[in-house]
């Protein structure tokens, strides 16, 4: 591995200053994406800025119609949190399905959303639950935040601080997981809000996206029967060694029906 400097700032301002100090800097949270990327030399930062000493970036609070989760909260902590279970049990179950125990005990919500892997799970929840992604510089609505493969609305050096998920009347996630990594071959998150239904799909395309036909069908009647036979258009979906586009298109319909049933 290439040599790099290491900083562990105690405040957001110090973290931003360390990032701006020059060279190629990278924030590190759980390290479960960044460290493999460094080992394979896909990322070669000069300075690692460890976010783990920052206060106020962990924990779960319920404020009005939103459930706020700190960026440094691990997947295991979300899966076990009583407030998450009470407000959004589907989100707790999603966290429990991420990776394996090692990944869940180190990986963080903020790391997943900053990275925006096209097969990651939380982006589907953030989009379906109309999340607000708060940062050290402001806030992003989920509808504007996800901008395709590994691309988000975050500016260079912007730090995710917490995420506010809108609490839905009913919400659930179903994924068909890759048997080795547990990433989603296809994952579908459904949420029934007071003002309509939101459905988000991960794993199937270049990035997470909303499924308008499924939302319209479920707005009429929120039941698995209402979406029976619905498949995605395969035209823009991923084809790789794990699954073809048509297979993913069909799988999305199966995951949709499962998620609705669970919700």
Ligand X SMILES: Cc1cc2nc3c(=O)[nH]c(=O)nc-3n(C[C@H](O)[C@H](O)[C@H](O)COP(=O)(O)OP(=O)(O)OC[C@H]3O[C@@H](n4cnc5c(N)ncnc54)[C@H](O)[C@@H]3O)c2cc1C
| Interacting residue ranges for ligand X, rule: CB under 6 A | 26-34, 36, 51, 71, 98-99, 103, 106-108, 110-112, 114-115, 117, 120-122, 159-160, 181-183
Q: Compute the distance between CA of residue 216 and CA of residue 214 in angstroms, rounded to an integer.
A: 5
Owner of token pair 């039941």: 223
Tell me how far, at minimum, the Cβ of 14 lies from ligand X, in Å: 15
Tell me how far, at minimum, the Cβ of 223 lies from ligand X, in Å: 28
Tell me how far, at minimum, the Cβ of 146 lies from ligand X, in Å: 13
Q: Of 24 and 221, which CB lies nearer to ligand X in the complex structure?
A: 24
Tell me how far, at minimum, the Cβ of 161 lies from ligand X, in Å: 7
Tell me how far, at minimum, the Cβ of 35 lies from ligand X, in Å: 6
Q: Of 203 and 253, which CB lies nearer to ligand X in the complex structure?
A: 203
Q: Of 17 and 103, which CB lies nearer to ligand X in the complex structure?
A: 103
Q: Of 132 and 192, which CB lies nearer to ligand X in the complex structure?
A: 132
Q: How long is the chain?
A: 263
The 10 Å CB-count burial string (b at 16+, else e) for 147-179 is: eeeeebebeebbbbbbbbbbbbeebbbbbbbee
Q: Of 52 and 223, which CB lies nearer to ligand X in the complex structure?
A: 52
């Amino acid at each position: 591995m290439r040599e790099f400097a290491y900083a562990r700032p105690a405040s957001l301002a110090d973290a931003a200053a360390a990032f701006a100090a020059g060279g190629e800097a990278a924030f590190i949270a759980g390290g479960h994406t960044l460290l493999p990327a460094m080992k394979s030399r896909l990322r070669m930062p000069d300075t690692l800025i460890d976010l783990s000493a920052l206060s106020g970036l962990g924990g779960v609070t319920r404020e009005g119609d939103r459930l706020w989760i700190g960026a440094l909260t691990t997947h295991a902590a979300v899966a076990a949190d009583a407030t998450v279970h009470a407000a959004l049990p589907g989100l707790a179950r999603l966290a429990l399905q991420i990776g394996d125990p090692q990944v869940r005990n180190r990986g963080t919500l903020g790391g997943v959303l900053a990275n925006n892997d096209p097969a990651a799970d939380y982006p589907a929840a953030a989009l379906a639950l109309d999340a607000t992604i708060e940062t050290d510089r402001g806030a992003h609505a989920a509808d504007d935040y996800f901008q395709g493969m590994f691309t988000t609305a975050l500016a260079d050096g912007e730090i995710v601080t917490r995420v506010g998920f809108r609490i839905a009347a009913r919400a659930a996630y179903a994924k068909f997981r890759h048997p080795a990594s547990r990433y989603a071959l296809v994952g579908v998150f459904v949420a029934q809000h007071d003002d309509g239904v939101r459905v988000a799909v991960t794993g199937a395309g270049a990035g997470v996206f909303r499924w308008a036909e499924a939302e319209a069908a479920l707005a009429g009647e929120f039941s698995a029967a209402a979406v029976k036979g619905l498949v995605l258009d395969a035209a823009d979906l991923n084809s790789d060694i794990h699954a073809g586009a048509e297979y993913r298109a069909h799988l999305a319909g199966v995951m949709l029906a499962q998620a609705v049933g669970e919700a």
